[in-house]
């Protein structure tokens, strides 16, 4: 009878509480049948009754004053600065809404009734460096798959959107903690931006991100402790506007386990956060296929600025934990290259930037000595500051700049006669002023990138196929974070 009463009370609370996630969202001890109980089931009956009574009638004015004292609201949502950017984003959002309308109806994630009016969020936490590192990693989990970006601020002021705290017992909200066990954390939906963790709990600091994806061992938490990382990812999801999901593998499922250090978002989590903040639709500055000859596995890499992304060669989805710094993964590579392409022989990769180029040894996974060298001195006829380039299996390399294309004969080390030509004359339907181009060595498909779209070359019609939006059907989660 007592369990039945819990369930009835829980249904009542779920119906009544709509504007803040007031319930703890971390796992409890398993029941005798091996199933994890809901977090709400551990709240005392008296507390449930009091909460329900408070919600049934108008909340007392004293509570409202308390809430105002610790919730910082932003008076005006931030907007993109440029009107042109507004129009561009509106067109892109409308496009995505149209092509994703059928998918939205089938979602299993749930959204709060409120949302942030901007995507560049600032967070603050007055915590030790190890806990701050965990929170940074937790925010990154959501940033890798959406257009949300997160920046930690060193001090608290009105610019802070989300504040994370460790608190004990009663703490100026209607939902006090209860000491070790039972209630672990709770969060509030936008625009409140508060995430609370019970300071009486023993929190384990280590964390991993999609360990199984990289064939890494997932470490259990220390005995008597709970994973701060998993709790933080879950609660931050609420602070961004996500409610609980009905998908059991989702990090937003009501009863997640805190006895492991690993988090890997479910497809339902990704769909939910992208519904709130949109998919990443970046301009691809440089993209190329590459493989280590020790394992022979092809992967697709994207470079932009000081970062690089590694995409799965089959799905072209950005792998978890990316982007990484170019300096950490590609020794001696220049930052923000104009273009990178693998030579048709497959044993070297060339990097072009400005008037210089570099040669990379794919076998040794190291840059050749003596580089960079002058493009003019070793690639006769090829201009500086190229837009895009790729090599074909018949030993030609094509360079693009503006509305021109240059064809370079690898066997003769010279530009082919009659070049440069107009891009439209040589490659029908390929836009001018390309951002990048590459040959997918898994399928031998040629891709061209221009602004937010990619185009594939149709060998039958000798023209490009209609453009696809980056991040919709291919090249997912290449997010700037």
Tokens, residue 190: 């936008």
DSSP secondary structure of 119-161: SEEEEE----HHHHHHHHHHHHHHHTTSS-EEEE-SS-STT-S
| Binding-site residue positions for Zn(2+) | 171, 173, 186, 196, 234, 238, 244, 252
Query: How far apart, in Å, are the Cα atoms of 120 and each of 142, 407, 444?
Result: 12, 43, 38
Q: Which of 40, 144, 194, 235 is catalytic?
A: 235
Say if residues 335 and 313 touch (Cβ distance below 8 Å): no
Cis-peptide into 324, omega within 30 deg: no
CA atoms within 13 A on the CB side of 320: 21
Helix (H, G, I), strand (E, B) or coil at 271: helix
Question: How far is residue 269 from each of residues 197, 234, 252, 281, measured CA to CA in Å?
Answer: 22, 10, 7, 18
Residue 191, preceding peptide bond in cis (omega within 30° of 0): yes
**Could you identify the residue written with the tokens 């960079």?**
372
Which of these, 276, 287, 281, lies nearest to 85 by C-alpha position? 281
Q: Encoding tokens for residue 262?
A: 């690993």
Nearest to residue 450, comparing CAs of 480, 476, 421, 430? 430
| Ramachandran angles phi, psi of 364, nearest 5° | -90, -10
| Binding-site residues for Ca(2+) | 161, 178-179, 198, 201, 338, 389, 435
Question: φ, ψ for residue 478 (rounded to 5)?
Answer: -90, 75
Q: Determine the angle formed by the axes of helices 45-56 and 2-16, rounding to 10 degrees.
A: 30
Helix (H, G, I), strand (E, B) or coil at 263: strand
* The residue count for the chain: 481
Instruction: Please confirm, yes or no, whether 235 is among the known catalytic residues.
Output: yes
Known binding positions: 161, 171, 173, 178-179, 186, 196, 198, 201, 234, 238, 244, 252, 338, 389, 435
- Residues with catalytic annotation? 235
């Amino acid at each position: 009878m007592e369990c039945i009463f819990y369930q009835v009370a829980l249904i009542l609370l779920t119906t009544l509480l709509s504007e803040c996630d007031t319930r703890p969202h971390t796992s409890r001890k398993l029941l005798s049948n091996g199933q994890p109980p809901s977090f709400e089931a551990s709240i005392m009956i008296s507390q449930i009754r009091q909460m329900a009574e408070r919600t049934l009638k108008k909340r007392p004015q004293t509570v409202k004053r308390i809430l105002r004292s610790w919730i910082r609201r932003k008076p005006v949502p931030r907007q993109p600065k440029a009107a042109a950017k507004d129009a561009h984003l509106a067109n892109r959002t409308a496009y995505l809404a149209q092509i994703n309308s059928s998918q939205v109806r089938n979602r299993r994630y749930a959204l709060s009734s409120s949302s942030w009016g901007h995507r560049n969020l600032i967070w603050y936490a007055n915590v030790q460096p190890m806990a701050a590192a965990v929170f940074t990693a937790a925010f990154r989990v959501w940033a890798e798959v959406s257009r949300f970006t997160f920046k930690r601020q060193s001090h608290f002021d009105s610019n802070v959107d989300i504040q994370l705290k460790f608190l004990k017992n009663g703490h100026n909200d209607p939902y006090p903690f209860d000491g070790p066990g039972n209630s672990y954390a709770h969060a509030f939906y936008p625009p409140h931006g508060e995430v609370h963790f019970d300071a009486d709990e023993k929190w384990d600091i280590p964390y991993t991100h999609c360990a199984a994806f990289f064939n890494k061992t997932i470490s259990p938490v220390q005995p008597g402790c709970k994973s701060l990382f998993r709790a933080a990812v879950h609660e931050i999801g609420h602070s961004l506007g996500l409610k609980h999901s009905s998908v059991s593998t989702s990090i937003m499922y009501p009863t997640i386990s805190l006895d492991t250090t690993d988090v890997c978002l479910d497809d339902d989590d990704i769909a939910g956060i992208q519904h709130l903040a949109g998919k990443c639709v970046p301009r691809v500055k440089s993209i190329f296929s590459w493989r280590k000859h020790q394992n022979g596995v092809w992967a697709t890499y994207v470079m932009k600025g000081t970062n690089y992304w590694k995409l799965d060669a089959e799905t072209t989805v950005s792998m978890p934990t990316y982007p990484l710094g170019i300096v950490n993964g590609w020794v001696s590579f220049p930052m923000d290259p104009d273009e990178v392409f693998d030579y048709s022989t497959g044993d070297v990769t060339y990097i072009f930037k400005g008037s210089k180029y570099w040669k990379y040894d794919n076998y040794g996974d190291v840059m050749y000595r003596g580089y960079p060298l002058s493009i003019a001195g070793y690639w006769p006829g090829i201009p500086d500051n190229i837009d895009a380039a790729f090599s074909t299996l018949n030993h030609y390399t094509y360079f693009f700049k503006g509305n021109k294309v240059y064809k370079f004969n690898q066997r003769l080390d010279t530009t082919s006669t009659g070049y440069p030509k107009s891009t439209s004359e040589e490659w029908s339907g390929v836009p001018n002023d390309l951002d990048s181009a590459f040959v997918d060595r898994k399928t031998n498909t040629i891709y061209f990138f221009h602004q937010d779209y990619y185009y594939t070359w149709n060998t039958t019609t000798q023209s490009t196929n209609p453009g696809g939006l980056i991040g919709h059907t291919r090249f997912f989660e290449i997010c700037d974070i």
